[in-house]
Structure 1
Amino acid sequence: MVNKTLEYNIINVLDGQINKSDTLALDVSNDNANYIIHRALEHQNVLSHQYTASTKTRSEVRGGGRKPWKQKGTGRARAGSNRSPLWKGGGVIFGPKPKVVNHKLNKKEFQLALRTLLFNKRESLVVFDNFEIENCKTKEFLNLISKADRNLDSKTLIILSNANDPIQLAVRNIPTVETVLATSLNIKALLRAQQIFLDETTLNLIKEIYCNG
């Protein structure tokens, strides 16, 4: 790990002007060791799969108790059951079965991956002084973004500190916007984002959760 400083500007949400600049010290992975991000992404992908697909073997398919025809003398190939995998309606050979897949990732590894990715995405980070709307209206949110001289043309991730934030409902009709709570921040959401919106409160919460573990 190496200690690096993430520099960011805090933007006034009402006029788009920079209020002040600040820094955040992050312990991140070495430049040549970003594989930790890949490990965390792989872990998330494994956990997102249910692995509940199930097929029946020849012993589980209904029927097939009687031999279809006698062994010899018919001129046809010998057959012992009409539920053989070679027959239509028969069992499945080596088909999928429900399983439990474990992919271990330590808490500190995940936090390191998240900090490293956050540092790598520093150019996409937009920090507002107060990112709030009164009503759950999409129009109100778009006006707020417009005043801050920003747009939602590219894939945007909004990180929120409160689960009941009106922004969560206001942006659900906007296809380019994804919201995530600071407590549920994940690798896939950060990787997809081309710009990341959050406020000072949320950034401090991220620092508390992922930088002091």
Structure 2
Amino acid sequence: MKYKVLDMQGSEIKNIELNDSVWSIKPHTQAIYDTVIAQQAALRQGTKKVKTRAEVSGGGRKPWKQKGTGRARQGSIRSPQWRGGGIAFGPTPNINYKKSVNKKVRILAFKSVLSEKIKELNLIIIDGFNFETPSTKAMLKSLTDLKIDNQKTLIVTKTPEESLEKSGRNIQEIKIIDVQKLNIFDIMNATKLIITEEVVKRVEEVYA
């Protein structure tokens, strides 16, 4: 497959050959779903915690004697049935939310979302970014030239570029990452995907 490469001004400068085994497969929706769920689950943290009856303070003695009162027997005022008592089956911080996904499934999902972007005409390949100094104004102009207006956009570079990141960090709909951090969820979450020609080569080296 041949695909056009643009410059920062949105002008076509050349065509490159894309590997069909990476960029032109039939999207596998189940693989995408499983991988996104696993990625989101891995981000969850065990930050919820309640006290059990062993951890709440007080309740060291029986509230009344075992027999003769006509009331139900009670061993502590910190039992779960008492107000202010411990929680019987509350959340704990040591829950493992991670879900495992087969490596072949992850690769298939990655290829599927890339192929989907091309199919929807939402992939833009540029020769590179050349921001000498950070400039939000220049970044907005470049996005306008690339015909991107108020759309969620993921920009991927081969290596972290400080000037580019500073130019785009004040633009709400823009997210900028390097290829090492490229993931299924960010691609799916963005309407437009802008990648450099170097990123294309790196992706094909890994997934072709």
The alignment's TM-score, normalised by the length of structure 2, stands at 0.87
> Please, what is the CA RMSD of the aligned residues?
2.2
Amino acid at match of 1:157: L
SS of the equivalent of 2:18 reads strand
Percent identity over paired residues: 35
- State how 1:40-51 maps to structure 2 within 5 Å: 40-51=35-46
1:156 aligns with 2:157: no
- State how 1:165-180 maps to structure 2 within 5 Å: 165-180=162-177
* Residue pair 1:68, 1:80 contacting (<8 A) in 2 also: yes
* Residue pair 1:11, 1:17 contacting (<8 A) in 2 also: yes
CA 1:155–1:132 in structure 2 vs 1: closer, same or farther (change >3 Å)? same
Greater fraction helix: 2
2-structure distance, mates of 1:30, 1:201: 21
1:59 aligns with 2:54: yes
2-structure distance, mates of 1:176, 1:55: 38
Aligned-residue offset at 1:49: 0.6
Aligned-residue offset at 1:111: 2.1
* Residue pair 1:63, 1:83 contacting (<8 A) in 2 also: yes
Q: 97, 104, 111: which is aligned to 2:100?
A: 104
Describe the superposition over 1:72-125 as per-residue Cα deviations: whole angstroms up to 9, x where unpaired.
454544322111112222111211112224422233332221111100111100
SS of the equivalent of 1:117 reads helix
CA 1:24–1:149 in structure 2 vs 1: closer, same or farther (change >3 Å)? closer
SS of the equivalent of 1:121 reads helix
SS of the equivalent of 1:55 reads coil
1-structure distance, mates of 2:190, 2:63: 60
Gapped runs of 5+ residues in structure 2? none
Describe the superposition over 1:108-162 as per-residue Cα deviations: whole angstroms up to 9, x where unpaired.
332221111100111100111222211122112123333x342331111111211
SS of the equivalent of 2:14 reads strand
Residue 184 of structure 2 corresponds to 187
Greater fraction strand: 1
SS of the equivalent of 1:179 reads strand
